[in-house]
Structure 1
Amino acid sequence: MQDTIRRNGSWLRAAGIVVAAVAVSAGTTLPAAADTDSWSYLTKMQAHEMWKIADGSGVTVAVIDSGVKDGSGWKIDSVLPGVSYIEPPFERPDYVYPPHDDFVGHGTTMTAAIVGDGSSGGPKGLAPGAKVLPIRTSVGTPMAFAVASEAAKGIRYAADNGAKIINLSLGWTPDWPMDKVKPAVEYAQSKGLLIFAAMGNEGEGKNWTNAIAGLPGVIGVGAVDPTGKAMPFSSHGPDTDLTSVGSKVEIRCAENKGWCTGNGGTSFATSLASASAALVWSAHPDWTANQVARVLIQTAGAPTDGSKRSDWVGYGVARPRKVLLDHEGDPGAPDVDPLAAPAAPKTPAPGTDPTAAAAAPRAEAADAESGLSWQWPALGAVAAVGLGLAATVIVKRRRS
């Protein structure tokens, strides 16, 4: 047991080095209680009014991430037992990493964003009546090279164990294979699940984007600030479908101790998008994944420049209250992917460098009402949280 503890401790120390580096570069992070505006996105979304109609009850969201830490800000029955796919250490082949534990706090943050009860300084979840099915992977550890195969197992597990939505606030590095993930995604979709994937937090550099978001039917999620402007770090491109708030939100502090206010990145934004879908599906349990996705896209706060979508904000900010309170959106055909219609090809402007994302102007989405931690973008750079380039890129066709 001592060997296992030492090994786990080394994992935590490795993650802590990254967190410290980000804290220096991104500024000081304050305790969540010190920022009274950090839940403002719930007010803008009219969450309390929506909860009178639907609160996510009857919908299970699988959070494939770094696990969850018990007692971190939700009702005990909001989080299901779940499963862990982290391999045991060589010296302890019988050791089991429980799903209700979390080395880095990333999965804990995503869970609270969906079903949190606002206790312990954490966020109030957008879909507090939903259930979270935690599926623990090696995210945030030096073993993160195994996340691809672990996530593929997790996607299949979610499909076979009652989930309706899969939240993938994960990223991809260039050497991670998609050969297991793509069939797993297709399997889950064949069983009627709706999948959300974070675009990644590399928008200011090489703009690596998450290849999972490029798979047909998967909803790619970017991050905006509370005013609707795309966050500069948000990875972006033709696979961006929706956005949600990713800044000034509650995230787990360094070493997963308590709650702090900071940038949740595309990871947090993805959890809000998943929770938005849970609210809609809770109100319309007879709808299919395609229909839920379609009304979220139709009712999103569109780009302010008048276009239907942009590579920065997709079709806009997710606004479930337009569906629940204003009764907008046409669910349409139950078996047709709303993103599958052909779209006109995009040609870069003459003389533009498509990799120079940092210099490109950022788009804004109208009515930004849905608004990685300061630690997630850099932690992901080393430990596979919130990145985005894959060896295999599959371009999904989008409607015009």
Structure 2
Amino acid sequence: MKRLAMTVAVLLLGSFSAAAQPEPGSEATVLYSASRMVRLVGFYKPDAMMLGQFADEVQERLTRTVGIALTVPATTPITWRAAAEPDTPARLVPRMGRDDVGWFLRLVLVNPDGLSLDEVLTCHTRSLLLLMGDQQQWLPDSVRWDRLPEWFVVGIYAGLFPESKRKNLAMVLEDWRQGLLPPLETLLSLREIPDGAGSQRAWACAVVEWLRSGTSNRLPLVLEELFRLPLEEQTLWIQARREQVAFEVWLARQDQGVLLRGLSPVQVLEQVEAILSSLTPSDPTLHPGQTILHWLASADPTLVREQALSISMQLREVSVAAEDELAAILDGYSSLLKEIAADERPPSSTRSLRKRLTGIDRKFAAWKEVVLARHTFLDRVEADWEMEFTPPAPGAPEDPARAAALRRLLDDAERQVGGAAGDF
């Protein structure tokens, strides 16, 4: 009966005809490809190789069009199983989901059948999106629907809205764009949250709070938890929570308008793992902010600017204006000290930098020690200038000792910038 029900649902939902095929490369093409795969699995009962071929086709189109990957590494738990045929060349075959709500999301986002809440939360970086489609109440009324891509919204309608089962997915997409479908808020408020357990339950609830508050700035809490651990435990923590942190980064970048359409979730995860490896402090006495910003300072300047968001991830109170100010200090700190050392600016020019440092001190109390250290360094710069760097009289020959002292100051300034200027 279950197979029959799935077959009937698939035939109703995937009723594309050859004449109705959408234009290549369009969003509807992606939906059409996914529909073909569902019909194939539900009606023709293909062998593993045939299913793999169609999975490859849908994979390629989804990746090219919306950056969503259907394939994941074999080490990813639960979501995939090995092909049944022994002669199938190392191909992973997805387990198809139930024939009830959310079938489309299970196809596109690879949500297998029979998973508990905790299992879904841990199996993939896109787990939250799966929950959005499968556990309807997880989308509160205040969620920003404009943040959800069209293919995702249409998938929800196709899986949850009964009337949409009489239409093909291209028609659903068109109805959505014209505003003819009822509000998703009405459809996504029907089920109760299933009981979860432990930290995964708390994590899921925290993500729901992110949706309600309209902000994705939860990485400060995640990183604070990391840095409270002893150094020897941090690697294990990163390994255990990598999907969680990766998804936080994905959410934060989406929130900032940085689209990652060209990256699959697995690629996002790889990026975040590299970042987290760099953030693991070599000195357990380092302040978390110092560790993160040391990593920023060691990166390419362009990358530093692009990763200014990492500062706001570590410090919850960061505003857009503060991020701009921090980026300006990163750009200007080294050049200012070089100009002082080269007699191009008087020592009084440090006053403006002092003022900016004081502003940073007010905004970020956690950085107080770092700011004080920078003040101390500026004190020494001014003292050295007064003692050793009195400009020579016009026309006087260059003093080798003075030139060497200037070089020492410049080297010291560059070390300060290279090792700790990122603390801003």
Name the one with the larger helix percent.
Answer: 2
Taking structure 1 as the reference length, what is the TM-score of the superposition? Answer: 0.29
Higher relative contact order (CA 8 A, sep 6+): 1
Question: Which one has a bigger Cα radius of gyration?
Answer: 2
Taking structure 2 as the reference length, what is the TM-score of the superposition? Answer: 0.27
